[in-house]
């Protein structure tokens, strides 16, 4: 039986929430509450945190990546569950001391300050540290604490964070850093998170139905546009279009019943706006729908890749994803929606 201090016990409960083993509300009630952190954690607490991370992260990813799916490995298609597509020994995650710092910092009221004292150098963070930050934001995203956390520029450049939370980081202009997520274990995590990302983007897009603030809606659209453009360029360069499968799935679900553009514009009063401003808002709100044309270009490009060409497997996999998601129909609906907002198009 290990004994820990109250601060450490709360920290462990927060970590359990981040790992999906306790309600998110529990973490929201505990984080950013302590006036100060102890100078160091006890050996027992550190061991428990290590144990939670070892078992919890594996369990989290196993629950996310258990499905038999097809993804690329070194230019070839690998089929199976996440741990079948990549040998478990290559799926190891490293958590540096920054993970502990993140957790301790999150427990203190200092995390509410506009200028965080904790600011690690970008290159020092491991994929594990970044993933822990993702888990924290994912857990707290619907609470004020999540919004406070997202305000800090600590991981504004991180690809996964930007991809999963464009709504929480609507005002950031930082360039996105993708390398940890398009190769190695980071790419495997991105594969496992495809359903999570689909749900996140559906949540964001459906939230636009209730939008009433033009500035918020425009900023969100611009944030989505920035991350999508950068993500698409990165995937093309890395030859990993398969990592954008969640975009196809999101679009397929959103456009299934051929909705009109009004669904994305909520209660925004467009009639009182200038046409130029109106179009800016409409275009920003429909950023994801516009992204369908990029996916279509990939499909067109994939169709030109021959059997003996480089990237044949990637092209075949994308064509298969495209067809199973009903890509042609997605594009047809997307074009109809975009046509609605273009005043010069019949």
Residues that bind other proteins (CB under 8 A): 274-276, 279, 342-346
Rounded CA separation 312/303 (Å): 10
Look-up of token digits 């997307």 = 334
Sign of the CA dihedral running 80, 324, 315, 196: negative
Residue 87 or residue 275: which is nearer to other proteins going by CB? 275
Quote the tokens at residue 166. 């464009």
CB atoms closer than 10 angstroms to residue 266: 17
For other proteins, give the closer residue by CB, 33 or 339. Answer: 339
Nearer to other proteins, 163 or 289 (CB): 289
d(CA 62, CA 18): 15
Output the smallest distance, CB 205 to other proteins, in A.
Answer: 23
Q: Least Å distance between CB 338 and other proteins? A: 10
- Identify the three-state secondary structure at position 258: coil
How far apart, in whole angstroms, are the C-alpha atoms of residue 108 and residue 30?
9
Q: Of the two residues 315 and 338, which places its CB atom closer to other proteins in the complex?
A: 338
Tokens of residue 104, six digits: 């301790």
Cβ proximity to other proteins, 148 vs 279, nearer residue: 279
Instruction: Report the Cα–Cα distance between both ends of the chain, in Å, rounded.
Output: 73
**Measured from the CB atom, is 39 or 343 closer to other proteins?**
343
Q: What's the min distance (Å) between Cβ of 245 and other proteins?
A: 29
Helix axes 184-192, 194-207, angle to 10 degrees: 60
Cβ 105 vs Cβ 13: under 8 Å: no
**Rounded (5°) CA angle 302-307-310:** 70
Q: Which is nearer to other proteins, 62 or 277 (by Cβ)?
A: 277
Cross-strand pairs, 80: 69
Rounded Cα distance, 251 and 256, in Å: 8
Write down the least CB distance from residue 304 to other proteins, Å: 15
């Amino acid at each position: 039986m290990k004994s820990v201090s109250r601060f450490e016990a709360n920290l462990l409960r927060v970590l359990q929430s981040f790992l999906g083993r306790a309600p998110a509300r529990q973490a929201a009630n505990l984080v950013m509450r302590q006036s100060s952190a102890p100078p160091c954690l006890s050996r027992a607490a550190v061991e428990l945190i290590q144990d939670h991370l070892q078992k919890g992260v594996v369990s989290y990813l196993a629950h996310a990546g258990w499905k038999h799916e097809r993804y690329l490995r070194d230019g070839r298609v690998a089929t199976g569950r996440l741990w079948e597509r990549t040998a478990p020994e290559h799926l190891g995650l490293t958590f540096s001391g920054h993970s502990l710092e993140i957790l301790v910092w999150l427990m203190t009221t200092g995390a509410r300050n506009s200028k965080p004292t904790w600011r690690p150098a970008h290159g020092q963070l491991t994929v594990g540290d970044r993933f822990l930050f993702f888990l924290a934001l994912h857990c707290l995203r619907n609470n004020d604490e999540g919004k406070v956390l997202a305000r800090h520029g600590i991981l504004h450049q991180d690809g996964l964070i930007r991809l999963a939370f464009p709504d929480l980081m609507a005002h950031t202009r930082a360039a996105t850093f993708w390398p940890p997520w398009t190769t190695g274990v980071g790419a495997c995590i991105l594969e496992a998170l495809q359903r999570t990302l689909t749900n996140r983007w559906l949540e964001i897009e459906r939230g636009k139905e209730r939008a009433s603030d033009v500035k918020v809606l425009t900023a969100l659209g611009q944030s989505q546009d920035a991350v999508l453009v950068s993500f698409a360029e990165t995937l093309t360069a890395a030859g990993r279009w398969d990592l954008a499968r969640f975009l196809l799935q999101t679009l397929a679900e959103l456009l299934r019943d051929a909705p009109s553009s009004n669904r994305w514009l909520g209660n925004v009063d467009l009639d009182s706006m200038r046409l130029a401003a109106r179009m800016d808002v409409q275009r920003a709100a429909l950023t994801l729908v516009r992204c369908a044309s990029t996916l279509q270009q990939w499909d067109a490009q994939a169709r030109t890749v021959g059997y003996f060409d480089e990237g044949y497997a990637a092209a075949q996999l994308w064509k298969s994803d495209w067809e199973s998601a009903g890509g042609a129909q997605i594009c047809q609906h997307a074009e109809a929606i975009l046509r609605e907002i273009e005043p010069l198009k019949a």
